[in-house]
Structure 1
Amino acid sequence: MLLNLDKVRQYFPALASEWTFFDNAGGSQTLKKVVDRISEFLLSSDVQLGASYAVSQLAGERLALATRGMAILINANSFKEVVMGPSTTMMLKVLSICLGQTFTSGDEIIVTNCDHEANIGAWVALEKQGIKVKVWQIRPDTLELHLADLEALMSPRTKLVTLTHASNVLGTINPIKEIATFVHDRNAMICVDGVAYAPHRLVDVQDLDVDFYALSFYKVYGPHHALLYGKEEHLLRLPGLNHYFIQQTDIPYKFQLGNVNFELSYGMLGLCDYLSELAQLHYGDKTAPDLRSQMVQAFDLISIHEEELSDRLLSYLNSKPNVRVIGQSKADRKLRVPTISFVVDGMNSSTIPAKIDQHYIGIRYGDFYAKRLIEYLGLALQGGIVRVSMVHYNTLEEVNSLIEAFEQLF
């Protein structure tokens, strides 16, 4: 079954412009359904929660509905495991501060060298309190993380292993479920940055058995807002950052300084609406009966289409002898997401996107806050990498137009 792109694109008003958006890993276009939900909250329930009057009660019900919707999106065991906030960077920083208070000098944390800095710097900062931070490096030949290398780093003092689900540069999907089992068998916890994964595949925190998981809604067709998942047992025992009179058992509120943004949280129900309608549009009377199963159907369609997009672009890039793809060179949807990075021999990466701009196609170059990875790969002096990041609303025709533009450059 093929994704009905004409119908899909109607859900994203920005796509009616003359621009082709291939910088989606930096921020996807926003669903009108999300905007409608935000407007609905602001125009009919924009009051503080917790009062007895009806509008305040409505606002509280809407926030609770949104939290439950996001719990379904990631398959959390309870809505209490969903902590929403302003950004993944902020949520991981909050987590590191709270979790760090439970560690003692000499305890160890393992980070990778292929993550966005949000999931490295927050943990490295704990070195100031005597926490030892080790680095799990990708291998230079495969550009992948190997469990044998992780095993060599772990010790009885290892408390946490933190890594990305999919690299925002390499596009590679890491085998999180396998890694989580490995880490838990050695009595440590695992924290996963799912920002570059969540727009492309449906997250299932229970199946993955991760302890913590973070994602950004503005990469998943919503506003600048984010989500941190934590197993309820962990969130209950962690010290909070909120006011002293906020109860230890009051989750997620004890992690939400100044409270959560009500309207942006409620807006994300628009994503649930969209995924449900996407399933109904394509499956008809075979549509799954519940929202979570409809999400599974929708993301299955999404991943198949994105594999086609990846295959078209990767086939072209792999055919050019002066182009080197940085990451998995195959389009297999089990191995990568359609975030594709490359460099061109003899060309500084900074010179390429500006020449593509004239074709009304938006791409990007740089390190994408994965600076440690770009330096490890020796690409900093070349301006980092050129990144084409696609999502399911992109079309093969748009990819062909990009290839035509590239043909004029290299």
Structure 2
Amino acid sequence: MPHESSTPAHTKALDEAVLAAEPVRLPVERPSGCPFDPPTELTRLREERPLTRLSFPDGHVGWLATSHALVRAVLSDSRFSSRYELLHLPMETGYTGEMPPAPIGDMTGMDAPEHTRYRRLLAGKFTVRRMNLLSERVEQITTEHLDAMERQGPTVDLVKAYAQPIPALTICELLGVPYTEHEFFQQNTETIMLHSSTMEERAAAMTAMEEYLHQLVLAKRAAPTDDLLSDLTTSDLTDEELTGLAGFLLGAGLDTTANMIAYGTFALLSNPEQFEALRADPGIADQAVEELMRYLTIAQIGGRSALEDVELGGELIKAGETVIVAHETANRDPLKYPDPDVLDLRRTATGQLGFGHGIHQCLGQQLARVEMRAAFPALVTRFPTLRLAIPADEVPLRTGMNIFGVHKLPVTWGEA
């Protein structure tokens, strides 16, 4: 006899229950005192209804996928589109009406064949081997900023003193952008990613970056130097495409890894046994990076739009419906990771979705790994008494932004 849950009648009843259930709004409230855990309601949905109807602020009714298997399935299925103009947003933003198409060069909002062309052109520039060749320079940058922290200390904002400069210097040198301009790009990138920014504010920030980078592209074409941007001027990319790609790569390189270094340090300081494990054995750095990516998941959600009717998890996703994928609950799925709410730097976090999955998996993930493998062990080794300089519940979190993290992380060291 088949198990009851596998019978057609039972499956049909479950399907009807999901469709009949009132669509939920995207849960955003995190557990009190737990800045690293996903919203409680989001976790509950993963346990009870890993694929559920979702109500969007613009009136659209789509879907929310919260389990590791379902999120991975959506991200790897070409029947789901990443094009911005086809997506509905699950949170209130400055946008009204239909989303505009992706700006030229913004690979996140493209499908094949446009995405394929850019990806093939750039993939060879960000290989594991090429990024590992940067390790020595990244370690040098890391040491220089640890030295500066020690001179400035014993109390600093880790975001400004350490987390931001390491990836900023690295990506600026890699692309050939003067480091003196990194604050200009960071401020404009934050404006673009802030949910509360108006369309006008986002457009102004993007225009400012585009104008600067366009002039830089022209300069690289006229007098190439030893950097990625100059290298790309020999391709078939137009000036407009090269400007857009440069902005896309620079924005991603400045913001995401900086947040991981700061937010990851916050997690280590909040889990002193894991801080000590890394300090005692820096050789676990590779595992530590993957586990921190899994545990924290700074890119919390993503979205895809069905290009045709798709059956997923026993449900029918209709053409045109948006599916929001919750990376943060997928990375805490107990069906994938035992004790998922525990930070364990010795865990083998294979398959973590912090860098995404499928054709849009983070292009710069190997560079980010090189930077984090250098930053975390060096920090805990240099400052074994590192601790928060303010209560943990006073650390300002980056809520209401596409990339989660901390705005500031005041730390201190030495005798308590």
- TM-score interval (norm. to shorter): under 0.3
Considering fraction of residues, name the structure with more helix.
2
TM-score, normalization by structure 1:
0.26
Considering fraction of residues, name the structure with more strand.
1
TM-score, normalization by structure 2:
0.26
